[in-house]
Amino acid sequence: MPERSRPRRPARSATRPSDRARQGDPARLAAYTLLRAVDDGAYANLELPNVLRRNRIGGRDAAFATELAFGTIRWQGLYDRFIAVAADRPVDRLDPGVRDALRLGAHQLFGMRVPQHAAADQTVALARQVNGAGAAGLVNAVMRRLSERSREDWVTAVVTEADPVTALAARESHPEWVVRALRQALLGHGASSAESVSADLARLVEVDNVPPRVALVARPGLATVDELVDGGADPSVLSRVGAVLPHGDPSLIPSVRDGRAAVQDEGSQLVALALAAATTSVLGPAAGRWLDLCAGPGGKAGLLAGLAVQAGADLVAEEVVPHRADLVRQSLRAAVAAARAAGRTVQIRTGDGRLVGTDEPAAYERVLVDAPCTGLGSLRRRPEARWRRQPSDLAELGPLQRDLLASALAATAVGGVVGYATCSPHLSETTFVVRDTVKRRDDVEIADARPLFTASDGSPVTDLGDGPFAQLWPHLHGTDGMFFALLRKVDPVAAR
């Protein structure tokens, strides 16, 4: 968490004007480059490795650039309020490059242990390098004004809303609609009561601003948790196939580098493990056939592939976007080879999951629908999502989610199961989708998913809600906010 109360004096460079840096240092320039790429539509977690590689940045400089860029993106909503006062103009009237330089400077002042004079000097130098001498003068003046108050004093000055949810959203740098949706989700999933929801909501959005741990998965049949531990990780408490890397670069671990293990949130691991653990009673050609209906970029498919082979089953991984399907192929290269050696198949296809139910009716025993969603459960990991997503996205995603779930159910044989998952607790993407779909059918039952969530020692994972659905939370479980529903395909005649 950032330092919230530190006495401030106006930032003054410790060097003479003639000796001050004329260019920003490489780590800060990399952070700036990432912010500009994100502003153009890039995903921070995907673009960061490219930026670091192009600029030949590693080690401590890479860690600094990562913390600076990701922290700035998380807190930009609050920092923009500070900057607007210090610059005496709305931030949307600033040149985008100048605005991003100031955001980076603000995070160094208020969210990192960077000395004031270094934050000011380096931010001005960066602005001079990327925006010109005129911009440097403006940035210098704004940085001096920003440094005149502590973070807490700035928050007191700019967060004046009376409504507690509105004020919380401003103070913790979230769009208000996101915070209100999370409040409804806490109540709707049974994670909070009317009495506890305010405190629970505050904790949840605070945790959204804490960088997540690097979680790893040892893909069954390809790697072991012991290999990850030998690489410096600690065994996961939540996932029997998981580990947590407290520090360092995961790509330096051999099993991660060659695709036998991977970076994957523990919540995503639990979802795949839950689907694999569900009981089925499928007979005939569909038995032993598993489907990942929305497989890109391949994380859950990689775990399911190993679990399928261990169970003597085959896996089809379907992805509609060609470049994401290529990512699945790359991620599952080792799994495909291992399946072939075991006499099983792991097939990656490019296709529209909404058509599978029509094209392959009753063809699968287990189907995972990891549906496209707003991603409100992964705001720690994808900081730009909170600013990029809008309430209007729900109107587009809702029909798609329902269509994919309906297709998955049609593709599932009687006695089989469908796991519906989202990385969002939003009620419109979770319980509403499932219940709306099920009430239109007489061949589906909702099963209690919670008993399928077991920790690495075999004990039940707690705080999953009132059921029958399972909802994970960043502030309760330390995972992404994964939702999971288990639907069982039944004979409609026998069910009457």
User: Which helix (H) or strand (E) element contains residue 255?
Assistant: helix 254-257
Contacts of 180 (CB under 8 A, 6+ apart): 165, 169
Instruction: Evaluate whether 420 touches 404 at the Cβ level (below 8 Å).
Output: no
Ramachandran area for residue 465 (φ above 0: left; ψ -120 to 50: alpha; else beta): left
C-alpha span between 162 and 158 (Å, rounded): 12
C-alpha span between 414 and 492 (Å, rounded): 9
**423 assigned to active site:** yes
The string of DSSP letters for 4-58 reads ----------SS-GGGS-SS--HHHHHHHHHHHHHHTT--HHHHHHHHHHHTT--
In a 10 Å sphere around its CB, with 0-12 CB exposed, 13-18 middle and 19+ buried, how is residue 8 labelled? middle
Which backbone phi and psi does 112 adopt, to 5 degrees? -140, 165
User: If we measure between CA atoms, which residue out of 287, 421, 453 comes closest to residue 366?
Assistant: 287
In a 10 Å sphere around its CB, with 0-12 CB exposed, 13-18 middle and 19+ buried, how is residue 396 labelled? exposed
Dmax over CA atoms of the chain, in Å, equals 86
Question: Cα torsion at 440, 181, 42, 402 (round to 10°)?
Answer: 0
For the record, the structure tokens of 81 come out as: 């309020």
Tell me whether strands 364-370 and 412-422 are parallel, antiparallel or unpaired: parallel
For the record, the structure tokens of 351 come out as: 């296709």
C-alpha span between 339 and 307 (Å, rounded): 11
User: Which helix (H) or strand (E) element contains residue 122?
Assistant: helix 116-131
Catalytic residue among 423, 444, 452, 472: 423
CA 336 to chain centre: 26
Q: Is 346 helix (H, G, I), strand (E, B) or coil?
A: strand
Residues annotated as catalytic (active site), given as ranges: 423
